[in-house]
Amino acid sequence: MRITITESQYKNIIIENRNSSIENELKESDSFFKNLVKSAKQQLNLDLTFLVTWGATIGGFMHPISEFIKNGQMEISNQDLSLITIGCVLTYFTDNKKMLFEVLEKIKEKKLISEFNLMLKQCDKLKSYFLNFVEGLNLSIYNISMMIGYTFLIPLLPKLLEISKHDLSPDEISEITKRISLYLGSTLSSKLIYELVKKTIKKFKSSI
């Protein structure tokens, strides 16, 4: 028996699959950061739990860079990779100089300055690309707290690009917003997330 689905049903299936993949990306970003928090405690006896609220957003920025370093030509253990990543998190997302000093001392002790500087360079590149993208959405991102608030978007961009190939209703964008909000807690309002998603999809759609 041949089953025929309508174009609307097909779109709903595609969007639901993409919504699920968005959740998976956010979950992975959050898990990545929680593992960093554990590593900071084990390696350095540093408590980074004050940043856990921002897990999915910091993970959204640092996870791709960590994977780039890990899969590059440079040989580095998972423990040392976590160490230099913690250093970058403290450099970019906090103003806690005492913690950063302790981490930098450990990085020097383990002779990982070259690896750390390479990761910082990649952070600078990604930050620049991301800020240019967000500026094109006409959203304000002038301080570090706002930067943290938006970087959860980085690993979601390929998913939103796929979704943008379909015409979405406000309710369908709201559903995407709800999925994202589950992983951001109170760090960003649902209204801001909705506008961010809507403008990102609109930007992609205009370039298709």
pLDDT over 90 for what percent of the chain?
Answer: 56
- pLDDT band, residue 66 (cuts 50/70/90): very high
Tell me the pLDDT tens digit for each residue of 67-119. Answer: 999 998 778 999 999 999 999 999 988 889 999 999 999 999 999 999 999 99
What pTM, to 2 d.p., does this model score?
Answer: 0.87
Q: Measured between alpha carbons, how far apart are the two ends of the chain, in Å?
A: 37
Q: Cα separation of 48 and 35, whole Å?
A: 11
Residue type, position 182, single letter: L
Per domain, the residue ranges of the chain are 7-207
Residue 49: pLDDT over 80: yes
Within 45-169, where are the H helices? 55-70, 78-93, 97-109, 113-135, 144-150, 157-163
Say if residue 140 is exposed, middle or buried (CB neighbours under 10 Å; 0-12, 13-18, 19+). exposed
CB 105 within 8 A of CB 97: no
Can you say whether residue 4 is alpha, beta or left, with left for phi > 0 and alpha for psi between -120 and 50 degrees? beta
Q: Cα separation of 83 and 7, whole Å?
A: 49
Residue type, position 149, single letter: G
